[in-house]
Structure 1
């Protein structure tokens, strides 16, 4: 009886393979190729459209690339005052200045502004990062905002239809008043797009001034009572279950 043949590996763009291996995001890999930092069998590549079945013979900055390991995902309680970037030309502190030194190379899932705190997911896998960030994946991000000014629940409920601000269309937002403390109001907002400064811009559009912004969850992963600056890893089985739910 003949044994079944192994299924041949699918050919994929090199940027996708390198992102899957945790080298960098697809966009960053395209930039690295343009800079002449990636080669195949000693020949420098000049296009991200290169199609491969594996990373055999691929080097980055002269170093061989290992095949992708299983994706890992971490929770990080980002404090205010850190940039979500690897380096800053102005020398301002970044999350990488504060992350534990024994952490593997990780990429942030989405960004949090300098003055935004709370849950930041970190992953070793560029494809998982992209999957979590795409609006089409429908992953809900939840924020709590402390804002100065007056707003009604009715105004917040109108955001469920989305809103256009200065030519930018923001999708459906589920927003609710939590409580008022003096002149400040705490508001919970749930959204799936995660556009740049989306929560701040929408609340400013409503006449509010945001004084504190905290991301409390990303998909099923919550900040819970995690201390500021703390990092822990999502259990592989929990990550596997979640990935099966992604669109």
Structure 2
């Protein structure tokens, strides 16, 4: 008498796709049949394929998360809060914004205490490590209120590069926003640098010290209308974009220092 077959490992692909919120099981089966789904880089056309939470699945080239225990949160960090889960000096830290979540969340990268804006919180250690690593060079967009009237020549200088103590740096994009006065200007800067306090140091180097700084974008994520001090879960679309970015390997950046605004 032959022994029983061991149970198959993993869950059926269409089931985990449905659990991940991609589509219903039937719609997921149709996506698979159309050749729009890959598992670990291989196009799969049979819905009975079994997958594990560690397998990498994409739909139309966008990554999906099979591990439903993972959580991804966007926070609009206020000024005065340090990017730490336990500040040794007793300053306000991120525990204020994570204590209501069942999962143990931690921050992806950092914003200095004087900078507000978009910060990602997650319990996905792999994604956090990749996206926060300076060599990955995730693009970040900031709005800076600075002293003085910023000229076209200053914008050109930011784009061509300024010399700092730790070497030259150039913005990927820079523009002066409407509403500036002789005393103050608003500047939008996009950088992939991971250097510490890079925006503040760049603007000081061109003669326009920062008064206020907000990070509006991190990779594919936009802060939108999320109020200061509030958080929300990433949407399925945002999560797919973030996972796709983290799994792509990214582009190496020349910088290798702490990632803060």
TM-score bucket of the superposed structures, by smaller chain: 0.5 to 0.7
- 1:208 maps to which residue? 208
Are 2:70 and 2:123, in contact at CA under 8 Å, matched by a contact in 1?
yes
Question: For residues 144-183 of structure 1, what are the alpha-carbon distances to aligned partners after superposition, in whole Å with 9 as ceiling and x for unaligned?
Answer: 0001123322222232333330133435431110031351
Q: 1:43-78 CA distances to partner (integer Å, 9 max, x unpaired)?
A: xxxxxxxxxxxxxxxxxxxxxxxxx86543210011
Gaps of at least 5 residues in structure 2 are 10-66, 251-261
Look up the SS of the partner of 1:244 in the other structure: helix
1:144/1:189 contact within 8 Å kept: yes
> Would the aligned equivalents of 1:134 and 1:193 in 2 still touch at CA under 8 Å?
no
SS of the equivalent of 1:201 reads helix
Determine the structure 2 residue equivalent to 1:61.
none
Query: Quick one: structure 1 residues 176 and 237, their matched pair in 2 at CA, closer, same or farther if it must change by over 3 Å?
Result: closer
- Once residues 170 and 76 of structure 1 are traced to their aligned partners in structure 2, the CA distance between those partners, rounded to angstroms, is 28
Q: Post-superposition shift, 1:194?
A: 2.9
Q: Structure 2 vs 1, CA of residues 144 and 208 (structure 1 numbering), >3 Å: closer, same or farther?
A: same
| Alignment partner, residue 195 of structure 2 | 195
State the alpha-carbon separation in 2 of the partners of residues 182 and 149 from structure 1.
Answer: 6
Note if 1:168 corresponds to 2:164.
no
Note if contact 2:221-2:238 (Cα within 8 Å) is conserved in structure 1. no
* Cα 1:164/1:233, change in 2 over 3 Å: same
Distance 2:218 2:116 in 1: 13
Q: Match of 2:127, SS?
A: helix
Q: Taking structure 1 as the reference length, what is the TM-score of the superposition?
A: 0.66
- Structure 1 contact 71–128 (Cα < 8 Å) conserved: no
Q: Report the CA distance shift for 1:126/1:172 in structure 2 as closer, same or farther (over 3 A).
A: same
Distance in 2 (CA, whole Å) between partners of 1:218 and 1:116 is 14
Deviation at 1:238, TM superposition (A): 3.5
Structure 1 counterpart SS, 2:163: strand
Please show how residues 39-188 of structure 1 align to structure 2 within 5 Å. 71-179=70-178, 180-188=180-188
Change over 3 Å in CA distance of 1:74–1:98 after alignment to 2: closer
Report the TM-score when normalising by structure 2: 0.63
Q: Does structure 1 conserve the Cα–Cα contact (< 8 Å) formed by 2:173 and 2:191?
A: yes
Q: Quick one: distance in 1 between partners of 2:160 and 2:70?
A: 35
Q: Output the aligned Cα RMSD.
A: 2.5
Deviation at 1:184, TM superposition (A): 0.4
CA–CA distance in structure 2, aligned partners of residues 114 and 100 of structure 1: 19
Conserved in 2, the CA contact under 8 Å of 1:145 and 1:213? yes
> Per-residue deviation at 1:136?
4.3
Distance 2:241 2:223 in 1: 19
Change over 3 Å in CA distance of 1:207–1:143 after alignment to 2: same
